[in-house]
A and B are shown apart, each in its own frame.
Chain A
Amino acid sequence: QVQLVQSGAEVKKPGASVKVSCKASGYTFTSYGISWVRQAPGQGLEWMGWISAYNGNTNYAQKLQGRVTMTTDTSTSTAYMELRSLRSDDTAVYYCARLVVGAIDYWGQGTLVTVSS
């Protein structure tokens, strides 16, 4: 069965960076993209971007351009999302998810990132 298992919760200070991992299993990793979606406390879902696990091509949401980097390690079927220059409004649950054409069909369990001084 398809599973996406994310790394644990993080607490970071403003200005720091965070890197969240997402290990995939149960399918051919390089046949799908990985999307990252975040959800601030009590708020809606926000699409952050996606990466092709096949060739590493990426597309990031305009508001995060320059602060976010998505990568994959095909040898371990793991995707990574790094967010830099953290601010308090980056506090959110970060989800990785498998991207099919036009939809996200499997989600990780989420990783809470708290930015606080």
Chain B
Amino acid sequence: QSALTQPASVSGSPGQSITISCTGTSSDVGSYNLVSWYQQHPGKAPKLMIYEGSKRPSGVSNRFSGSKSGNTASLTISGLQAEDEADYYCCSYAGSSSYVFGGGTKLNDL
């Protein structure tokens, strides 16, 4: 499968909100409510932030929210904080027990 499409970078300032998009196809994002989002700081393993499109694991701040419309999923971070500066990856179930990641988005300028 082809990787999901994410913007290479987004910028924000402390206190603002940003949205990262993740565009797939009708064979992955559009067909399943199984999009997840991961945060990765340099040199660290990724961390699950959103699963099943909009659900937050225990311990993840409610400043993080997810949604989906058609073939595009989105991650919104409100009330930006310095520690939110990281890379963000979306991932979708693509059928037949397979998954596909997005190319990643660097959130910077915080």
By a beta-carbon cutoff of 8 Å, the part of chain A in contact with chain B is: 35, 37, 44-47, 50, 57, 59, 61-62, 95, 100-105, 107-110
Contact = CB atoms under 8 A, between A and B. Distances in A.
Describe A's contact surface by its main secondary structure.
strand
B98 A102 contact: no
Nearest to B99: A47
Contact of A47 (B48, B51, B98): B98
Give 10 nearest A-B pairs by CB, closest first: A102-B34, A103-B51, A103-B36, A59-B97, A107-B45, A44-B104, A45-B101, A47-B99, A44-B103, A102-B93
Given A44-B89, A45-B89, A45-B104, A103 B45 contact: no
28 contacts: A35-B99, A44-B3, A44-B89, A44-B101, A45-B40, A45-B46, A45-B89, A46-B101, A47-B98, A47-B99, A47-B101, A61-B98, A62-B1, A100-B51, A101-B52, A102-B93, A103-B36, A103-B48, A103-B52, A104-B36, A104-B38, A104-B46, A104-B48, A104-B91, A107-B45, A108-B45, A109-B45, A110-B45
Interface in B43-93: 45-48, 51-52, 57, 89, 91, 93
Contacts of A110: 45
A11 to B, nearest CB: 19
Contacts of A44: 3, 89, 101-104
